[in-house]
Amino acid sequence: MTRHLLSFLPLLLLTKALAQLTVQSPQPSVQVPLGQPAVLPCTYTLGSGDSLREIKWYERTMGGNRVPVVFYFTNPPQETAFRGYEGRASLVTADASTASLRLNETRFSDNGQFECLVGAMVSGVPQEVTANIDLRVLVAPHAPKITGDYSEATGHLNLTCTALHGFPAANLTWYRDGVAVPAGRVDVVTDGQGYQDARVSVNFTVRANSSGAGTVTYRCDASHPSLTTAMQVSGKLGPPIVTGITTSPANIESLMEYDDVTLTCAAEGGLVLEPTYQWSRDGTSLPDGAVAAGNTLKIVFASPKDSGTYRCTASNVLGSTNAKKTLQFKEQPLIREPQTQEDSGLPGEITLVIVLAVFAGLGAFGGAAYYIRRRKQSQDEEAPEVVEEEPKPVVAPRSILKAPPVPMAQQRPSLTNQNVPPAALVDQGRPSHSNPRPEGAPSGVQERGYDNPASKGDEFNPQY
């Protein structure tokens, strides 16, 4: 008997040790608006003598896999946030039994289930215990919109309220003159990114031009966990109400000829049944330069004859209303020119021809002068440099008798060989100016001698 008790003692001690570590989450899920911080609570308890080893947080995927978020180890103390959570994930350790996770700047991708794992040494044996918690990141939907579909033949009106891109889907409610209206089926569609679109419709039977139709107001409210106040949109079921016509430019008192003006017609009541717009001018048709497009009318390059009262009419199957605006386009002031054709005395065409002819003549004259000047400069540059020489004496052409050179003794005439009186001699060896003309010399030519300057340096010419 004692032997059997001793065999079960280790199992009892191990069971007691395992029962001493517990991990739990105080709440199964946490909701937080997009971008706000979230705290996922997790607590644990240890027995006396037991010690904490580690705290690990994981994100559970749709396939059941675990993605690490942040790990904490006690020996040595170290905390590590993993990819995608760096700078956002951290542990909240307010006391020895807290292992909560804090996520800053929550994202839509943070939606899902998280796992808290606590590891400890219990009675010398390593042990791990986990707890799961869901995180829901709330995304407010876009403002609701109302669209209408009306059948004029049957009088059937279908109104649809839509709130897109929310998580979870918005809760939509219809009201008629402030009283809730039972709606049909609510359609929720999830897009590829996980956002949800909500749509709900109501149906009515409406007759065209029915009395009191313009006093009925329909409203759609969109409520959401991330909103403190519901978003609303409303519209009147009836003829559109034109509230006025605005202009661009706003100041129409100073409109002038050739200006551009745009008129815009503002109307209420188009949220349910979209109105159609028609533009007209009192007493006449629209100007040729006017372009109408929906609730706008544009007048381009206006003239004084485009002045008048313009009217905008908005209508639907339940009726119509209109508004008007008066425009006055003033003529541009005339600017007198310094001289007209009558003052000049010549027709404009002739004056232009004369002016052009004068300019053409001046241009031709200037071109010719420029060409001559350039040609002269070119010739001067090409001509060789002339060196001035002293003028040489010019000897008039004459017939000269030249004798062959003879010895000096023979050049002097002998007194014995010539019948010349001694008194006629001026000096010996020097002929007189009255020397007779050599025989055979042409008439008018004297004998060349020392007293004839033209004979100096000349040589005898045998032809004479």
**pLDDT tens-place values along the chain, 464 residues long:** 445 444 544 544 444 544 578 999 988 999 999 999 999 999 999 888 899 999 999 999 988 899 999 999 998 999 999 999 999 999 997 677 899 999 999 999 999 999 999 999 998 899 999 999 999 999 999 999 998 887 878 888 889 999 999 999 999 999 999 999 988 778 999 999 999 999 999 988 876 655 444 568 889 999 999 999 999 998 877 788 899 999 999 999 889 999 999 999 998 765 567 789 999 999 999 998 899 999 999 999 999 999 999 999 998 877 889 999 999 999 988 776 665 555 545 566 777 778 788 878 787 877 787 778 877 777 766 655 555 555 555 554 554 444 555 555 444 444 444 444 544 444 444 444 445 555 554 555 444 444 444 444 444 444 44
Contact between 433 and 450 under an 8 Å Cβ cutoff? The reply is no
Return the exposure string of 236-269: e unless at least 16 CB atoms fall within 10 Å of the residue's CB, then b.
bbbbbbbeebebeeeebeebeeebebebbbebeb
Closest CA to 203 of 170, 235, 220, 181: 181
| Amino acid residing at 62 | M
Give the pLDDT confidence score for residue 21 in this predicted structure: 87
Q: For the whole model, what pTM was predicted?
A: 0.54
CA separation for the pair 164, 187 (Å, rounded): 11
Give the pLDDT confidence score for residue 429 in this predicted structure: 46
Give the pLDDT confidence score for residue 341 in this predicted structure: 52
Give the pLDDT confidence score for residue 179 in this predicted structure: 93
Contact between 213 and 273 under an 8 Å Cβ cutoff? The reply is no
Q: Is the four-CA dihedral 343, 349, 354, 360 of positive or negative sign?
A: positive
- Give DSSP secondary structure letters for 209-222: T-TTGGGEEEEEEE
Closest CA to 331 of 358, 311, 353, 302: 302
Give the pLDDT confidence score for residue 156 in this predicted structure: 86
Dihedral angle of Cα 96, 100, 105, 108, to the nearest 10 degrees? 170
Give the pLDDT confidence score for residue 178 in this predicted structure: 92
CA separation for the pair 337, 274 (Å, rounded): 56
Give the pLDDT confidence score for residue 388 in this predicted structure: 53
Contact between 305 and 232 under an 8 Å Cβ cutoff? The reply is no
Looking at residue 370, what DSSP letter applies? H
Strands, E assignment, 269-331: 276-281, 290-293, 296-299, 308-316, 319-327
Give the pLDDT confidence score for residue 14 in this predicted structure: 47
Give the pLDDT confidence score for residue 272 in this predicted structure: 63
CA separation for the pair 265, 322 (Å, rounded): 9
Contact between 299 and 261 under an 8 Å Cβ cutoff? The reply is yes
* CA distance from start to end of the chain: 191
Give the pLDDT confidence score for residue 392 in this predicted structure: 57
CA separation for the pair 250, 261 (Å, rounded): 9
